[in-house]
Amino acid sequence: EAQVTQNPRYLITVTGKKLTVTCSQNMNHEYMSWYRQDPGLGLRQIYYSMNVEVTDKGDVPEGYKVSRKEKRNFPLILESPSPNQTSLYFCASSHDGGTEFYGYTFGSGTRLTVV
C-alpha cells in the first residue's frame, strides 16, 4: 500500500531533550515536506526537500532540523524542544511531475507535547 509512515504517533517529552520524528514513504516521491498544525493557525510548512541532499526552509523552520540522505526518509529533528513546539506534525510527499502536480500524500501525524 502506498503510504507515508510517521513515528511515533504520540510523544510527550521534556524541554531540551533532543528528539527525532521519523518519516518514510514507499512511493519513490521526490518531494517531501514537514508541516505543523496549530489551532487557529492551520498547517504551516516547516522544511521541505526536493530530492536527496536538497532541503530548504519553509515558513516556520526555527528550532527544527531535517536531513534527506535517502529518497524514502525525511526525519524531523528537534535539537532542544521547547513548549511552543507542542503541536501536531505531518509529513507529506509528492511526485515531481515537472509541469504536472500529482498532489500530496500525508502521513497520519505525530502529536508532540513538550512539557
Partner 1 sequence: KQEVTQIPAALSVPEGENLVLNCSFTDSAIYNLQWFRQDPGKGLTSLLLIQSSQREQTSGRLNASLDKSSGRSTLYIAASQPGDSATYLCAVYIGTASKLTFGTGTRLQVTL
Per CB under 8 A, does 102 bind partner 1? yes
Binds partner 1 by CB under 8 A, chosen from 2, 12, 14, 41: 41
CA dihedral 71, 24, 47, 111 (to 10 degrees): 180
Binds partner 1 by CB under 8 A, chosen from 24, 33, 85, 87: 33
Distance between CA atoms of residues 96 and 85, nearest Å: 30
User: Which residues of this chain interact with partner 1, rule CB under 8 A?
Assistant: 31, 33, 40-43, 45, 48-50, 56, 58, 88, 90, 92, 94, 99-109, 111
